[in-house]
């Protein structure tokens, strides 16, 4: 048994990682300001510290109160569109929170750090699938902020010996197959939950952002990876850091699905039409993003257990159907500041 600190552990990917750590018998402390995260997503038995990472004193208190084998850092601003309206906020906050946390980890003697990173740092790559050697040309301030966070961790290793792994997710999707956790963002911007809610008549018809891309059906292709498989990748990578060097991995299934294919899958699984219209392209969207997961498989033994699009959609559908109002715990405690 080991103890881990998970920032943003009340959020979508973070909460699935917390559950996976708990299920294998590890102790978990979650640090989350609940601005995006949900108290109800933190399982019983897990300590929840409601705090903002910008509050250095609180962060130091957490590291003084417990000793951690490793830190998993999910709390971040993470909306691509918003990052293009407020780039300085994204760059400053995502970098400084990572640096604060890495610093606190180093000072406490914690030696392992896993960063939630993103495929958004590859911009519009020409070669598919995207491996770890692909050029980094972030297409958004969000992607750039995660690259800056990765760079900060390089320095934390070089100077202080903090071992880190950055996991560049492609499109995290789906929900805990046992229905205990799901995806609940405000605002919701992701394709699968939007398509499901449109099918359930809970929101306006879906707008497909462009059907004139150079892809077989004209809509964008993405690599949807099940959030439970993503969680498994974090555990494997954290374990590997015990004896391995700092590392970066691309995490996806290596399979691409178009927006139209996602709509068809939702219709198959839900047995209802997804009302939708075709709109203009969304600025900044690359036509195709598909991961090479070779390195992750080779070095950690990871493999996706829920790779099929229908299976991903089935788990997402089940959770959203059962939770019309999501986690339904929208109240933000007085004075709590932001994290994701």
78 binds ligand UFG, rule: CB under 6 A: yes
145 binds ligand UFG, rule: CB under 6 A: no
What is the DSSP secondary structure assignment for residue 310, as one 8-state letter? Answer: H
Which residue in the set 118, 145, 164, 292 belongs to the binding site for ligand UFG (CB under 6 A)? 118
Residues 273-312 that bind ligand UFG (CB under 6 A): 282, 285, 289
75 binds ligand UFG, rule: CB under 6 A: no
Residue 66 or 209: the one with the smaller Cβ distance to ligand UFG is 209
263 binds ligand UFG, rule: CB under 6 A: no
Which residue in the set 6, 19, 80, 227 belongs to the binding site for ligand UFG (CB under 6 A)? 80
Residue 107 or 124: the one with the smaller Cβ distance to ligand UFG is 124
Residue 26 or 285: the one with the smaller Cβ distance to ligand UFG is 285
Catalytic residue (one of 12, 90, 142, 224)? 142
CA distance 110 to 87: 31
Compute the radius of gyration of the chain from its Cα atoms.
Answer: 19
189 binds ligand UFG, rule: CB under 6 A: yes
Task: Using alpha carbons, select from 265, 262, 183, 264 the residue that is nearest to residue 230.
Answer: 183
Active-site residue flag, 142: yes
Choices 64-72, 128-136, 207-215, 306-314 (CB under 6 A): range interacting with ligand UFG: 207-215
Task: Using alpha carbons, select from 214, 176, 219 the residue that is nearest to residue 41.
Answer: 176
Alpha helices (H) along the chain: 12-23, 56-65, 80-85, 87-108, 141-160, 191-199, 227-240, 259-270, 294-300, 309-322
117 binds ligand UFG, rule: CB under 6 A: no
Residue 146 or 306: the one with the smaller Cβ distance to ligand UFG is 146
**b/e burial code for range 78-111 (CB count within 10 A of at least 16 → b):** bbbebbeeeeeebbebbbbbbbbbbbbbbebebb
Residues 27-56 that bind ligand UFG (CB under 6 A): none
Which residue in the set 222, 260, 306, 320 belongs to the binding site for ligand UFG (CB under 6 A)? 222
260 binds ligand UFG, rule: CB under 6 A: no
What is the DSSP secondary structure assignment for residue 216, as one 8-state letter? Answer: T
**b/e burial code for range 29-53 (CB count within 10 A of at least 16 → b):** bbbbbbbbbbeebbbeebbbbbbbb
Q: Is 174 left (phi over 0), alpha (psi -120 to 50) or beta?
A: left
Choices 12-20, 24-32, 35-43, 202-210 (CB under 6 A): range interacting with ligand UFG: 202-210
207 binds ligand UFG, rule: CB under 6 A: yes
Bridge-based pairing of strands 3-7 and 70-73 is parallel
Give the DSSP H/E element, type plus range, for residue 250.
strand 247-251
Residue 70 or 326: the one with the smaller Cβ distance to ligand UFG is 326
Q: By CB under 6 A, how many residues form the interface with ligand UFG?
A: 21
166 binds ligand UFG, rule: CB under 6 A: no
Please give the full DSSP string across 58-108, using - where no structure is assigned. Answer: HHHHHHHH---SEEEE--S---HHHHHHSHHHHHHHHHHHHHHHHHHHHHH
**b/e burial code for range 119-129 (CB count within 10 A of at least 16 → b):** bbbbbebeebb
171 binds ligand UFG, rule: CB under 6 A: yes
191 binds ligand UFG, rule: CB under 6 A: yes
Query: Shortest Cβ distance from residue 88 to ligand UFG (Å)?
Result: 18
Catalytic residues: 142
Q: What is the binding site for ligand UFG (CB under 6 A)?
A: 78, 80, 118-120, 170-171, 189-191, 194, 206-209, 220, 222, 259, 282, 285, 289
């Amino acid at each position: 048994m080991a103890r881990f600190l998970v920032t943003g552990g009340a959020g979508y990917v973070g909460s699935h990682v917390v559950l996976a750590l708990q299920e294998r018998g590890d102790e978990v402390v979650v640090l989350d300001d609940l601005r995006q995260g949900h108290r109800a997503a933190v399982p019983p038995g897990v300590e929840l510290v409601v705090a903002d990472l910008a509050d250095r004193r609180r962060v130091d208190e957490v590291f003084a109160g417990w000793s951690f084998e490793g830190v998993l850092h999910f709390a971040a601003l993470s909306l691509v569109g918003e990052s293009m309206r407020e780039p300085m906020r994204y760059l400053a906050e995502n970098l400084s929170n990572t640096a604060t946390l890495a610093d606190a980890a180093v000072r406490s003697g914690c030696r392992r750090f896993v960063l939630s990173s993103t495929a958004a740092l590859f911009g519009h790559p020409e070669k598919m699938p995207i491996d770890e050697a692909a050029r980094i040309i972030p297409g958004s301030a969000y992607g750039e902020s995660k690259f800056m966070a990765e760079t900060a961790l390089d320095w934390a290793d070089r100077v202080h010996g903090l071992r880190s792994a950055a996991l560049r997710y492609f499109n995290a999707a789906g929900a805990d197959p046992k229905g205990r956790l799901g995806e609940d963002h405000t605002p919701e911007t992701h394709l699968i939950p939007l398509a499901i809610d449109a099918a359930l008549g809970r929101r306006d018809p879906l707008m497909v952002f462009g059907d004139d891309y150079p892809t077989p059906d004209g809509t964008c292709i993405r690599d949807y990876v099940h959030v439970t498989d993503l969680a498994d990748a974090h555990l494997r990578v954290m374990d590997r850091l015990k004896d391995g060097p700092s590392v970066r991995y691309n995490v996806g299934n290596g399979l691409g699905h178009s927006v139209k294919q996602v709509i068809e899958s939702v219709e198959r699984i839900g047995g209802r039409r997804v009302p939708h219209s075709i709109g203009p392209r969304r600025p900044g969207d690359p036509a195709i993003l598909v991961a090479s997961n070779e390195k992750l498989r080779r070095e950690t033994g990871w493999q996706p257990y829920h790779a099929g699009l229908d299976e991903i959609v089935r788990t997402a559908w089940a959770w959203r159907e059962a939770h019309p109002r999501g986690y339904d715990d929208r109240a933000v405690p007085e004075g709590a500041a932001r994290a994701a």
